[in-house]
Amino acid sequence: MELITNQKLQQSSERFLNGKELSWELQRGAILLDIRQPRQFASGHLAGSLNIAFYPDGFARQVSSFTSTGRPLVLVCETSLERLAAAFSLMQAGFNVIGYTELNFSTTLETFPQLTVRQLWQEISQGKLQQIMTVVDVRSQAEWEEYHIEGSIHLPYLEVPRRWQELESRRELTVVAAKRYHSLTVLSFLRQNGFGLVYEVPAGMPGWARSGLPIRRGK
């Protein structure tokens, strides 16, 4: 049984999908899972990919929160060792990893537009928060109550997959978090679900606090 498992793991993690094969699998319902770290993903990624950065502890649980085990996965990653470790973790959790792809065959990579905390404050000062923008804070309840941006919406990270429809897709969405990999996961998930105008704030809420910008405390 162990030998069969190892063979299946090797076959899944070593199968390369070119552009045509990838397009076919995505049309059949596969998920493109980019497991690279935030800096790499933010610098350019394949359109429609879901970013959940690979960390050995809790990786498969996070993937389970944002997609179903019933949908095949195609991985995008930096190294073959990372790909093997991620595939093993996912297959143990019941996912079907059908292969991997790379960025170099694609001439068009997507990036999320970014705002510095000062730029976000300027947008808010101009009244956009009331008119066309929604700021979504995906930190924990305790972090939110410690401080948050006046007028922002609190939607904890792991609640996004079941509550994302509460957000208005026609508005500009700016996601803020305590950790960059959380904001990129949420942004990529929202983009997958039809949200076109989504913005990242790389410095997140820690950067907002360090800059001395206005905050609200409590609920």
Neighbouring residues of 213: CB distance < 8 A, sequence distance ≥ 6 = 117, 118, 121
One-letter amino acid at 26 equals: L
Using CA atoms, how far apart are residues 139 and 141, in angstroms rounded to an integer? 7
> Can you give the pTM of this predicted structure?
0.92
C-alpha distances (whole Å) from 26 to each of 49, 95, 155 are 10, 16, 29
Q: What is the pLDDT of residues 51-71, one digit of tens each?
A: 999 998 899 999 999 998 889
Q: Residue 59: in which H helix or E strand, if any?
A: helix 59-66
Asked if residue 187 has pLDDT above 80, the reply is yes
Task: Give span(s): CATH 3.40.250.10, the chain.
Answer: 2-100, 117-210
Is a pLDDT exceeding 50 seen at residue 195?
yes
Residues 6+ apart with CB under 8 A from 163: 155
pLDDT at 105 over 60: no
Dihedral (Cα; 71, 82, 54, 204), 10-degree rounding: -130
C-alpha dist (Å) from residue 178 to 71, 146, 148, 205: 29, 12, 11, 6
- Calculated CA dihedral for residues 82, 87, 93, 95, nearest 10 degrees: 140
pLDDT at 19: 86
131-170 pLDDT tens trace: 899 999 999 999 999 999 999 999 999 999 999 999 988 8
Q: Which fold has domain 2-100?
A: Oxidized Rhodanese; domain 1 (3.40.250)
What is the third-level CATH fold of 117-210? Oxidized Rhodanese; domain 1 (3.40.250)
List of residues 6+ apart from 24 with CB closer than 8 A:
none
**Percent of the chain clearing pLDDT 90 (strictly above):** 78
